[in-house]
Amino acid sequence: MKQEFEETEDADAGAAIKQPRLWRDNGWTARVIKNEDDDGWAVEMILQGQPEPALVGPWTMGRDKKNPKPLDTAAFNTLVKTAAEVVRRHEQHLQALHHKSFDVSGAAGARVRVTLDIVPDEDDPHALLAATDADGAQMAEWRVAAGYKLDAARARVWVEGGCEKPR
């Protein structure tokens, strides 16, 4: 049975498939698989072009209590919505890890936004520390170590010091 799915998938990666254990549509693939942890079934949701599933969860048994319940339109749509939310939350988490921003007071009380954007390059990880005035004009930008720690107090001290290159 698994071989049949693989052959169908290889035929046309973009075509919609609506089989009892394999559905593909709108860039998502749902595949019902044997649950490795117990005697039941699981479903994995894979976003097209991604090597790993975005979501793996338990799947309901059919009436015979042996085989999985077949996929249908309603179930597939619910799985897509859930998997897309998981992907969105993961992207937000990565954004939060790689970007920090603080608004501090600069000269004469003017608002200055200080940002730190981490560039997770495998060969040359680094970060960009920048200051922007209230009008959006860049005041300074420096390349710093990827491990540079930025908090509100440090941002304020940096701006008060004239946005010089950090050591």
- pLDDT tens across 62-90, in order? 888 889 999 999 999 999 999 999 999 99
What's residue 6's pLDDT? Answer: 46
DSSP codes, 7-48: HHHHH-TTS-EE-SSEEEETTEEEEEEE-TTSSSEEEEEEET
CA distance 165 to 167: 7
DSSP alpha helices (H): ranges in the chain? 2-11, 73-98, 152-160
Helix or strand or coil: residue 56? strand
What's residue 3's pLDDT? Answer: 40
Beta-carbon-side half-sphere exposure of residue 82 (alpha carbons within 13 Å): 15
What's residue 13's pLDDT? Answer: 63
CA distance 24 to 51: 15
What's residue 97's pLDDT? Answer: 83
């939350």: which residue's tokens?
A: 89
What's residue 10's pLDDT? Answer: 47
The pLDDT of residue 165 is above 80: yes
Does 106 or 51 have the greater pLDDT score? 51
What's residue 131's pLDDT? Answer: 96
- % of the chain residues with pLDDT over 90: 71
Distances, alpha carbon 27 to alpha carbons 54, 77, 91, in Å: 12, 12, 18
Tell me the pLDDT of the chain averaged across its residues.
89
What's residue 84's pLDDT? Answer: 96
CA distance 153 to 140: 18
